[in-house]
Structure 1
Amino acid sequence: MPQPFAQADPAAVFRLFDRTAHTYDLLNDALSLTLHRLWKRQAVALLQPRPGERMVDLCCGTADLALLLAERVRPHGGVIGVDGSAATLVLARQRAVAQPWLPLEFVHGDVLALPLPPGTADGVVMAYGLRNLASAAAGLRVIRHLLRPHGRAVVLDFNRPSHPLWSQAQRSYLRRVVVPVARMLELEAEYTYLERSIATFATGPQQETLAHQAGFAVARHHPIAGGLMGLLDMKVSG
C-alpha cells in the first residue's frame, strides 16, 4: 500500500506545523472558503457526541474540533486534544482559556506514542492528521486502543478522487491556488508537500480495510465535497 509523505520523518511534520501555526487558521479559511468548518461539523455529526462522554481529538491543531466536541459533552464530559506541534497547542490553549466553561485539556505528543490508557474515550476524532502520521495503519490501531466498547471514531482528511476529472481538479487547486498563496506568505516549502501526501495516501476502500484490520467492527468511508475530501466512520463492537 502507498505510504504517506510523513513516514520518512514524522518530526518534520511537527516542525512544519510549528512554523505555520500563526497562519494556519487563516489559510484554512481562505483556501477552503471556510468550508473546512462545515466538513468538521459533518465529522462531529457522524461521531454523535453526547453529554457526559469522554472524547479525544487527535492531531487537534488549534482546537476547532475539540471546541465543538466540548460544547456537546459538557457539563460532565470532557475532551482531550492531542498534537505534536507545540506552537499550535499554544493557540489551542488560548482559545480554551477564552471559554473556561468548556471541559478541555491538551496533551503535547506524538499520536503514535500516547501516554493514554486503553478505553480512555467514548469517541475519537482526527482531522487532517492520519495522512501525516508515520503510519496510517498504526494510527488507526491507536484510535481503536483508545476506545471503549461501543466506541466510535471519525477521521476527516483529503480524499483521492477516483474520477480523473476530479483528480485533475484537485491537483490544479493545489498547484494554482494553495502553493501560490503559500508563496506570498513565504510558506511555499511548507505547503508543497500537500500534493505528494495526498497522492500516496490510502484510498477510501484501503482506509476501510485498514480500519477492519485495526479491530473496528464497522468502517465506512464517505466521500464529501465532490470526492475531494473524505470521512472515515468507524465503530467498535460491544
Structure 2
Amino acid sequence: MRKLLMTVLMSLGLLAGCNGEPSYKGVSFIAYNYTQFDMDSVSVTDKAGESAATMQVSVGAGGGSVACCYTLKGTEFTAEWRAADPEVLGQHLDDGRMQEFFFTRKKKVTFAPAGIPSGDGPLVLELHIYPDEHVEMALSRKLVNGRLPIVDTTRWLWRTHKDALTGFSDVYEVLHTVARVTKTSWGKYRIEDAADMREYMKMYFTVASNFDQDPEVNAVLEKKDRQPGEFARAIEALTPERIAAMKKSGSAPGDKNG
C-alpha cells in the first residue's frame, strides 16, 4: 500500500520530504517576465542548492521556454536572473560593450505548500517576475500567456493603432515601451485585466502620456474597489470631444521613457 501511495505521489509531482517539507519531483519550469528588461537566464534555487533554470526570457513574459525536469524541496527559494535593457543593447551590437550593460538580481521568495492542480498535463513550476521585481511562484498544468498581457496588448496596439505609432521603428520598440509603462499601470494602478490594459495603453500611446492625471480618469484608476473591465468601460464612455480636450492639454503621447 505504501509503495502504491508513493507511486501516486510521484506521478503528481509532489512528495513530502524527510522533514515534512514539500518536494517537487520531475517538474518543468517556466519564467514569466513582466519587467522592461530582456533576461538571458532565470533560475530558482532551494535551500539545498538544487536549481531549476531557463534561458532567454524576453520582455513581456512571452519568450521563456519550458525546461524539464527538476526536483526542488522546501518553501524558501532564491530567484536569480541576469538581464539588460534591450534598447540599450541595440545601441552596442558592434562595439563589444554589450556585457557591460547586463545586471544580476537575486530575490528571496517563499512558496507555501501548494495543492497539485488536477489534470493530465505535465506539472509546471511557474516563476512570475513583476515590474517592481518582486517574484511569485505557482504550480500549473497549463501554459498561458502570463498574468499581465504585455505582449497581447502590444500586438493589439500595433494592429489597431499603427497610424498613431509613427514615432516607433517597429513593434518591438512599442513592446519595450509598453513594458516600461506597465511599471506604472500595474505598479501604481494594478491594471491586470486585458480590456483595462488595452484602454490604458491606447490612451497613453494615442492621446497623452499623462492622461492618468486627468481628474475624472484618475478617480477611476484610484478607486479602491474597481472591478476588472471597469476602467475600460469608463474610457470607452468618453466622448470624442472629451478625448480631444485631453489630447490638447496633455503631454505628447507615447513617451518612450514610460
TM-score under structure 1 normalisation?
A: 0.20
Q: Which has the larger radius of gyration?
A: 2
> Which one has the bigger helix percentage?
1
Greater share of residues in strand = 2
Q: TM-score, normalised by structure 2?
A: 0.19
